[in-house]
Amino acid sequence: MNSRIYQFSADDYRGEKVELSKYIGKVALIVNTASECGFTSQYKGLQELYDKYNEQGLEILAFPCNQFKKQEKGSNSEIKQFCDLHFNIKFDLFSKVDVNGPDALPLFNFLKEQAPGILGSQSIKWNFTKFLVNKEGEVVKRFATITKPHQLENDIEYLL
């Protein structure tokens, strides 16, 4: 079980603790997000993936992060309001976290270890880095910021 995401928990945008074991048997796409980023429009694509595949077992976990050029300045409730107003997201939104450095959420340290970036780099380089997790909770693949959500469809369908 230690090589799976189910050992972790995180606070949702309301500050309520969520055990990631709630996603057992689901395919999960875990993304670090930001509201003031050139890639913020990817929220739309993420919602489209969720609409298309949620009934088949896809869950999307969005983790706002302010570590990249301070592009997520708002409070958790402001971030939720922004997402609802502009993208009407239905997938799970978590509290703002660090994804790199000494205060990184342990889940993200795990994700980076399981699926390093280019040349084995562990750090996350920018907002909207995506980690795809299979139904067993194992990290299958890491996708760069520039990878648009719809480009993940084949990988998602394979895992579903």
Question: Domain map of the chain by residue range?
Answer: 5-159
User: What's residue 11's pLDDT?
Assistant: 97
Q: What predicted TM-score, i.e. pTM, was given to this entire model? A: 0.94
Report pLDDT digits (tens) over 13-35: 999 999 999 999 999 999 999 88
Q: Does the domain made of 5-159 have the CATH classification 3.40.30.10?
A: yes
What is the three-state SS of the chain?
CCCCHHHCEEEECCCCEEEHHHHCCCEEEEEEECCCCCCCCHHHHHHHHHHHHHHHCEEEEEEEECCCCCCCCCCHHHHHHHHHHHHCCCCEEECCEECCCCCECHHHHHHHHHCCCHHHCCCCCCCCCEEEECCCCCEEEEECCCCCHHHHHHHHHHHC
Indicate which residue of 5, 10, 27, 37 is catalytic.
37
Mean pLDDT of the chain: 92
Report pLDDT digits (tens) over 120-150: 677 889 899 999 999 999 999 999 999 999 9
Give catalytic status of residue 37 as yes or no.
yes
